[in-house]
Every structure is written in C-alpha cells, then in structure tokens.
Amino acid sequence: MDLEDYFLDSPDKPGYREYDRRSFNEDFRTSLTDFQRMAYIITIINRVSITLYSIIFLLGIIGNGLVIWIAGFRMKKTISAVWFLHLAIANFLCCISIPLHIARWNYNVLLAIVILFYLNMTTSSFLLTAMTVDRWVSVMWPVWAKVHRTQKLVRITAGVIWVMSLAWIGFMYFLPLSVHSTYKLKLIIELIRFIIFFVIPFPIIVTSYVTIFLKLRKSNRPQRSQRPYRIITAVILSFFLCWAPYYIWPLIPLNHGGILQFQIVDTIIYTLAFFNSCINPIIYVSMGQDSGQSFLRSIPLRIESALSEATDDLCQEQEDCGEAHADV
C-alpha cells in the first residue's frame, strides 16, 4: 500500500482526510512547492549574508588594524588615543569572529564566536560610556581633570572594563549550562543584558552630552572646533543604532515565528551588529581633516587627525582654568 492509500483507505487510520485522491495530490504538490520555495529563499539569504559578512570582515580588519597601528604606535600618546585604541581592539576582535560565524563547524568554534562577539558588545558599551563620562568630567571640572585625568588612570579603567566584560560573558554563557535552562531563564538574562548594556548607558551618554553642550554654550571662551564632538557623537550613535535590534528582538514575544521569518530577522540583526565593528574607521576617515593628498594616501593622516582632535585637555587656556578654579 502506498502513502496515499494509507491516508485515504479508512477513517480509523491516522491522517484520514475526507477528500479524494486528486485533492491529496494537489495539496501534497503545493506543500512541496512551498517548501522548495522557502529553501530557495533561505539559500539566497545565506549567500547574501556571507557576501555582506565578507565585506564587513575586510573593511573591519583593515580599518581597525590601521587605527590600532596609528593610535598605538604612530601618533602621540594621548588620553583620547587610549580610548580609541581599546575601542578599535574590541572591534577588531569582533571582525575576527566573522569567519567563525560563517563556518560554525564545531563546539569550540561556537565558543570562540560567543567570546569574541559578546566581548566586543560589552566592552564597546562600557568604553563609550566611560569615554563620555571622561569627557563630561573634563568639561565640568577642568582644574581637577587637568591634575587627575591621566593616561595611567584611563588604562586602568580600560583594563577593568575588559575584566568586567569577560566576567559578564562567563555569567551569561555558563549560567544556563550550570542550571536547568528554560525559556524564562533565557528571557531574564536577555532582559538583564538589555538593561546593563543599553538602557543604562544610553541616558548617561545623552545626559552627559546635553550637559556638555549647555556648559560650552554658556562659556565665554572662544568657540573651538566642533569636529571632536561630532566624531564621538557619530561613533556613539552608530553603536546604539546598530546594536538596538540585537538587544530588543529577543524580548519581543513574537520573535519565534516561522523558519523564513527567523532567518531574515537573524541575518539583519547580525549584519547590523557586525557592521558596527567596521564603521568607526569609516567615520574617522570621512570626518578627519583633509590633508590635500590623494584619498588613499590621506587615509592615515585623516584617522590621525580625527583621533588627535578629540582634545584631551579642555583647560588649555589659562583664563579658563582660572575661571573654573574660581567656580570651585
């Protein structure tokens, strides 16, 4: 007896349907066609995602590698250079995880993806928040910042951020393995991550820059270049815009739809997250000062000017320091 006879022979048998052999064949062919169409679309999505990941990987490795070389070895060591150096290292590690994300051939590779990907996510969020607070302190208390705001303090802060990020990865990844993992537990972890790395940093950063803007606007000192603030603002906005879907999507109850829907949303979310790891060097090049040379030759100089123009000492003018000292 063939499959159709089994389903249509008797009402007592499982799968019995009250339609004739022709209806069964039409429904079967329709289901098969839908499955083939879905498989074809998923194949196209996978090919597009691999292409996008490859482009992001090349741009990120080259761009962040160039930033690491300039900020770490070429330009004068400044506080801003230290912040941008650690941010570039975090993005560079994320770019390294992209080929592993494409492959995913065994457990060790998946573990490496988790460590590198989430290390970039957590470290970048902490670094951008710390960078903003550092900028806020240097504007609000310039005299104190001139004395206590040192490269050593920034390096120690960056080191603490890396340790905290690794500790969070251990908590987030190994806690579900050590206890009975349920959907409720995973949702709680996603919610905690959303609060710590998105909800808390974003208002801190926004409030700090609004305060900085108001403080500089009320000041009587000469108007300085706005490029440093535009660069830092662009870096921060790109981070939150690229990572927002990744944080929010797991918290939506309807995110467990069909396979095709999941594949499309998953591709968009990871593409945006990975794109953030290569966009910062593009921002530095596009917003850096033009040196008058050809574009390719001017790229290192543009990056160096972008990093160095994020002024480390906002109390350079003696009259400003005196005014701030009098306010204290």
The helix or strand, by DSSP H or E, that contains position 297, with its residue range, turns out to be: helix 295-308
Q: What is the pLDDT of residue 155?
A: 93
What is the pTM (predicted TM-score) of this model?
0.79
CA dist 328 → 76, 143, 221, 321, 323 (Å): 31, 9, 18, 11, 9
> What confidence category does residue 1 fall into, taking pLDDT thresholds of 50, 70 and 90?
very low
Is the pLDDT assigned to residue 245 strictly greater than 60?
yes
Q: What does the pLDDT average to over 7-28?
A: 49
Is residue 98 a contact partner of residue 64, using CB atoms and an 8 Å limit?
A: no
Which range is least confidently modeled, 23-32, 129-138, 142-151?
Answer: 23-32
User: Which pLDDT belongs to residue 162?
Assistant: 95
Domains and CATH numbers, the chain: 44-327 (1.20.1070.10)
185, pLDDT greater than 80:
no
What average pLDDT score do residues 289-314 get? 67
Taking residues 233-245, what's their average pLDDT?
Answer: 90
184: exposed, middle or buried (Cβ count in 10 Å: 0-12, 13-18, 19+): exposed
Q: Which two tokens stand for residue 200?
A: 């808390």
Using the CB atoms, write b or e for 56-85: b if 16+ within 10 Å: bbebbbebbebbbebbbeebeebbbbbbbb
Q: Residues 304, 88: contact at Cβ < 8 Å?
A: no
Hey, which of 222-231, 271-280, 281-290 has the most confident mean pLDDT? Answer: 271-280
Token code pair at residue 220: 């009587």
Instruction: State the angle between helix axes of 295-308 and 79-103 in degrees (0 to 180), rounded to the nearest 10.
Output: 120
Higher pLDDT, 298 or 70: 70
* CB proximity list for 87: less than 8 A, separation 6 or greater: 124, 127, 128, 131, 235, 280
Distance CA 139, CA 315 (A): 8
Residue 168: the pLDDT is 86
> Cα(186)–Cα(195) distance, rounded to whole angstroms?
14
> Span 320-324, mean pLDDT?
44
Q: 161 vs 219, which has greater pLDDT?
A: 161
Using pLDDT thresholds of 50, 70 and 90, give the confidence band for residue 311. very low
Q: Determine the pLDDT at residue 328.
A: 36
CB 62 within 8 A of CB 110: no
